[in-house]
Structure 1
Amino acid sequence: AEDKGEVVGYIMCRIEIGFSNLKRLELTRKGHIVSIAVLPEHRKKGIGSSLIVDAMRRMVEYKATECYLEVRVSNTPAINLYSKLGFMIVKTMRGYYADGEDAYVMARKLP
């Protein structure tokens, strides 16, 4: 995302084939939001939501049926944003981050 030529946010995703985060023991094609960031002074403007919605639309073009991401358990603003976009917490990964913090895996179906 850009504002007057300055990069103010980005999203990085990939398509994977693996076990579903939403259905037990089912292989599926899924989109993984590997990284997303918006500069602090540009938050609360809908940039993050727009990046995610656009990424999910593109995942569908690549035949993904669900989307998932990891988020720090302490990152309440991000968890709230993802929840608003239809993501649900599906599991906790203990010690996921280098500093030892846990992560939630959040996932949602794609249309």
Structure 2
Amino acid sequence: MDRSSGGRDRILRPVIRQFDLKDLPAIVEIDREVGGGYSPELFMTFHEYHPQTMLVAEAAGGVVGIVIGFKHTPLEGRIFWLAVKPAHQGRGIGRSLLSAILRIFSRLGAVSATLEVRIGNRRAQSLYASMGFVVDNVIPSYYSDGEAALIMRKIL
């Protein structure tokens, strides 16, 4: 490890793989840490219906991130959720997960991908924009707390 950087900003090379049932406790913990509020049943439903597009990132000896997506239409992939444990954010894990799911969408025949992001989540918006996503729409009061969502789209 490069001691001069303190390790915090070091890019991790996560192993990206499909979600497995044994990952459920780690995913529930990530959800709790990032305030997602999703139920384990939702994760199980995605695993049942969309196993190809439910990926986890392993690094530092455990599961530290997840991306969940699905084919929204025959030509469009939809990213439902991307989350990285707060202690591992800013190290390239979200970018690795996003890149992996976009490659899968392309292999499945999608020509574009969409996602929504809180209008106040500038960090996520910056990641998405750096990967070619552009704002396609704004939906006022999209989230349960009344915050608006940006709909972002990328041509694959």
Q: TM-score range with shorter-chain normalisation?
A: 0.7 to 0.9
In terms of fraction of residues, the more helix-rich structure is 2
1:6 partnered with 2:62: yes
How far is the alpha carbon of 1:5 from its aligned partner? 3.4
After superposition, residues 55-94 of structure 1 pair within 5 angstroms as 55-94=101-140
Runs of 4+ in 1 over 2 A off after TM superposition: none
Alignment of 1:21-40 (within 5 A): 29-40=75-86
Identity of aligned residues (%): 37
- Please say if 1:109 is aligned against 2:142: no
Bigger relative contact order, structure 1 or 2 (CA pairs below 8 A, ≥6 apart): 1
TM-score scaled by structure 1? 0.87
Q: AA paired with 1:11?
A: V
Higher strand share: 1
Q: TM-score with structure 2 length normalisation?
A: 0.62
> Which structure: larger Rg?
2
Residue of structure 1 equivalent to 2:37: none
Q: 1:55: Cα distance to partner?
A: 0.4
Shift of 1:7: 1.1
Q: Identify the match of residue 145 of structure 2 among 95, 99, 102.
A: 99
Q: Deviations over 1:23-80 (max 9, x none)?
A: xxxxx61000000000111011100001001100000110000001000000000000
- In 2, Cα distance between the equivalents of 1:14 and 1:46? 22
Amino acid at match of 2:68: M
CA–CA distance in structure 2, aligned partners of residues 10 and 32 of structure 1: 14
Partners of 1:35 and 1:47 in 2: how far apart? 14
